Amino acid sequence: MENNTAQLEARVQKLESRTARSGGGGSIVGFGASTVVWRPGGVTAGNVYATWAEVVAAVAALNGAITIGVDTTLAVAIIPVGAWDLRPAGISGTVEFFNATPGDIAPFVTIANAAVTIHGLTGMQDIQLDNRSTSNVITTGVGDAVDFYLRGFASLYQSVLAGAGVSFIAAAGGVVPFDLMFYMQDFSFVGSLDGGVNAIRVAVALSEIHIQDEAIFDTNQLTAAALSVNVFVSSTEITQTALKPYASQAAAPTILPFGFVQRGSADIVVGTGKTAAIPAFVSSVSRILVSLKTPVGDALTIKYAALLADRVNGNLGTFQISALAAAGGGAVNGADTSSIDYEVFSA
């Protein structure tokens, strides 16, 4: 209870802090929603800009919720080397990319393979972002927490060209307990096209990742200090081995997703009384429900159970299901080769 109260207080503190930084309680001239269009290879006119530098200058002068429409009809969109500040001192509001390319479900934006940083970007919708930056693109720190959203068919790809120790978002700590709140909605995706890892890196500060709808957070895209990240999964279950709503994060310590239910079936291996090891996000307190699917073999088996001794906790860990010959946990029944269903509740 004390831990829950502390987390609630931290959320309130975070909200109050961000409200203060966004000008809450004060009067901001021109506060409202605006759209800026980035059309590489085009002609700058009105709210349409041909270069990224022009886009940044325009957005940095506008308070309120800003959307940057990306139109790649004439040329590819590349964010060049530089320290780009979309939200300088005195300017506030969200800034998100969205698709403004006719006929394209999700155009590409590439971050150059150079030192690129962006301050003030808070999300994207129906955009594929390929991060090749050799420096952390978005960094939280003192006075700068981040809420970041992926919506629609947005995809964040972490390239191997970025190099080791570099991430798209690096939560460095020093603001409030929840430095980073990362939300994935609709059909959004975090992963890599070429084997890059750690799109998100968290050090010291506590952060949250919310994976919702049909979103997928792919393998090894999160690294964090122990106990620094809460992962909440309500995404629809994906059955393919390589595409789970939250895939294994081997580069991180044990980060178990909250509310993630894993389901499957397995067979008791003849002569052993147990299934083979089943990969799963498990800890010593994870609930594993087991039921008989197709009975085969010795009728003396009374129940099936995933015993604590047969769990290897972690992400990914494993567990085995035993065919027990006596209620309360007797010897395993080596003659049983039944098929078993299971459900794993990760936390």
Q: Write out the two tokens for 81.
A: 């080397």
- Say if residue 146 is in the same domain as residue 290: no
Q: For residue range 185-204, list pLDDT tens digits in order.
A: 999 999 999 999 999 999 87
**3 state SS of 330:** coil
Provide the residue range defining the domain that includes 15.
Answer: 2-255
- pTM confidence score: 0.81
- Say if residue 246 is in the same domain as residue 265: no
The Cα 277–Cα 319 span in angstroms is 5
- Say if residue 185 is in the same domain as residue 333: no
Q: Could you tell me the pLDDT band of residue 217, with boundaries at 50, 70 and 90?
A: very high
- Say if residue 14 is in the same domain as residue 125: yes
Cα 96 → chain centroid: 17
- pLDDT of 56 above 90: yes
Residue ending a domain, among 237, 255, 273, is: 255
Overall number of domains in the chain:
2
Q: Could you tell me the pLDDT band of residue 50, with boundaries at 50, 70 and 90?
A: very high
- Say if residue 212 is in the same domain as residue 289: no
Q: For residue range 167-180, list pLDDT tens digits in order.
A: 999 988 765 667 89
The average pLDDT across 64-85 equals: 97
- Say if residue 103 is in the same domain as residue 245: yes
The reported pLDDT for the residue numbered 188 is 96
The reported pLDDT for the residue numbered 33 is 58
Token pair 């860990």: residue? 317
Among candidate residues 105, 45, 110, 47, the one with its CA nearest the CA of residue 75? 110
The reported pLDDT for the residue numbered 174 is 64
- Say if residue 280 is in the same domain as residue 243: no
The Cα 53–Cα 193 span in angstroms is 27
Q: Could you tell me the pLDDT band of residue 239, with boundaries at 50, 70 and 90?
A: low
